[in-house]
Chains A and B, each alone.
Chain A
């Protein structure tokens, strides 16, 4: 296709029309059977073929119009891009972008209070606001922060050291089960078990690290994936200890330095003279996971300026050169696995304390894949990018549950959550096409002589395991 740079409107229109028609035809072919027809069971258990021409039309028209618009505006956008390029030769990151981490941190710290205030104003009573905020603090706040922490932990292994780990959820599971078992059997407290869970997970990280040291790329990914599955299958089948698929329930909750969040007279609410509510525990958990996530971020930032962090990044860039500089790549890789696993373990024990129940169901491969997707979408190595990716991905799926109004459009049996994976996939494709290096495609150097310049992602390597 020798694209001639004709800017005549006629030819562009003709081309756009043609491309639009092609896209429509393609969509028709693709969705004809999948969307156009549907089988339903009637009362006599017979399959009945129904058709949904309306929905199919929407799909086909959507594809055609989208393609038409994209093609039609392509020259226009190219022109604008050119102008923008010419103007913004060396663009400084905007003030907003530079202070984004600080603003984000402030928002995160104030989030529960803001939610309560807004909802109280909306409902007209403080108590009502508190109760209503439960959902937002728990489903959105805590849920997202757990994934942020997990993704930051995995980022050490994948983003910094460049070791592709598809079995990260195994360490999450180790942390969760360590807490669940030790707490139910020996009654250890959360604050004792939190570090222990981290240490156990780190140990497992080293155990996984040893056999895979020599592997690279795809081979490493396969073995780590297998490791994740092995841990999950052990949890399912070692019923004497783990109770198999039933899981472990009745796990002790975390306490605020010994003060339990129970309704009794020694509970948190009673001590402070507040009315009884489950919200306090959720808010406490929110700040707990926020603290843990920030710990992960702080350690990551500090480590990047340590020799070990630089060695990780160097390892991602070129392992052979690392060895030629006297860096022991064995221990370097193992510390990366162990550090990443440790944060997974912390997150796991938090998860167990929050849920009060753990079962192998929570540690399937899909979780590993989602966490990895966050790291990749966020931009390898970038904490802010990864946090945004986690917020969008987890927050997005939670948001889907809230979209009740869609039922008015698509009918009462429309359940938006079911489209979660579809949207996930779409979002990932869009982000990767639009920003192939993730949201934050540039890398911040760990040291500088004159000025700190961001390094464009085109120079960094993804690592080969």
Chain B
């Protein structure tokens, strides 16, 4: 594929926690308008890669290029200003702010004139949040917090959306809604999505391309169809739960 036009390009990145290498020589890219997924076991380094894009932790070697710009050493808040939005692992909503305020925080990178329009979109996606609009984030249930984290990321009108396990702790019906919404956003607006998921089936069905990560190394990549058809991928990530 036209790798040079990639919106996000991660080249040969290595990341360490202390002296422990979490990522080694990771090279992945996401073209504009693509949904790319990263699958792999727990502890493989998927979330680390997500965080490395944001410079927390910094990549020790390699380069991360967003829209032709080297963001490897860029401060995190400036990376966010490039309209890379993230729904991080562990939700990380602002617990003492109301749902509305959390969404405003998400929109703060954008001028607030789109706020009504965008928040309407989020509430359409998660009607539950609308019911809870004046409740503090910390008093929401776990799944509702997850919805809020995704909604907050969407409020920034991102060019690249990083989703770290959006389905975590959500009811099957909501997961479906979210996946539908991601698909719709991607289709209608050309939003580029980088998705980390345990739910390999759902993720591969949604994505255009996928990467498989094992122990901090990308071992396989290809179109979702190829990965779904690959016996190794099936054995490792798709089977097991459906006995």
Contact = CB atoms under 8 A, between A and B. Distances in A.
A90 B19 contact: yes
Interface of A: 1-3, 5, 85, 88-90, 456, 458
B19 A89 contact: yes
A185 to B, nearest CB: 53
B18 A2 contact: no
Contacts of A89: 19
Contacts of A88: 19
Interface in B66-94: 70-71, 73-75
A2 B73 contact: yes
Contacts of B71: 2
Interface residues of B, number: 8
A28 to B, nearest CB: 28
B18 A458 contact: yes
Nearest to B19: A89
Nearest to A88: B19
Contacts of B74: 2
Contacts of A85: 16, 19
Contacts of B73: 2-3, 5
Interface string B47-76: 000000000000000000000001101110
14 contacts: A1-B75, A2-B70, A2-B71, A2-B73, A2-B74, A3-B73, A5-B73, A85-B16, A85-B19, A88-B19, A89-B19, A90-B19, A456-B18, A458-B18
A457 B75 CA distance: 24
Given A1-B75, A85-B16, A456-B18, 11 more contacts: A2-B70, A2-B71, A2-B73, A2-B74, A3-B73, A5-B73, A85-B19, A88-B19, A89-B19, A90-B19, A458-B18
A162 B73 CA distance: 35
A90 B70 CA distance: 32
- Top 9 A-B residue pairs of the complex, sorted by shortest distance between their CB atoms: A3-B73, A89-B19, A2-B74, A2-B73, A456-B18, A85-B19, A2-B70, A90-B19, A1-B75
B73 to A, nearest CB: 5
A342 B75 CA distance: 48
A202 to B, nearest CB: 36
Interface string B11-22: 000001011000
A408 B121 CA distance: 74
Nearest to A1: B75
B80 to A, nearest CB: 15
A2 B78 CA distance: 10
Nearest to B21: A89
B70 to A, nearest CB: 7
Nearest to A86: B19
A2 B82 CA distance: 14
Nearest to B73: A3
Which of B16, B19, B70 is the most central at the interface, judged by chain A CB atoms within 10 Å of its CB? Answer: B19
A464 to B, nearest CB: 13
A444 B71 CA distance: 39
A456 B20 CA distance: 12
A1 B70 CA distance: 11
Contacts of A456: 18
Nearest to A458: B18
B233 to A, nearest CB: 32
Nearest to B61: A82
Contacts of A1: 75
Contacts of B70: 2
A31 B58 CA distance: 36
A308 B71 CA distance: 49
A2 B58 CA distance: 13
A455 to B, nearest CB: 12
Nearest to A82: B60
A2 B75 CA distance: 8
B81 to A, nearest CB: 13
Contacts of B75: 1
A2 B74 CA distance: 5
A453 to B, nearest CB: 13
A162 to B, nearest CB: 20
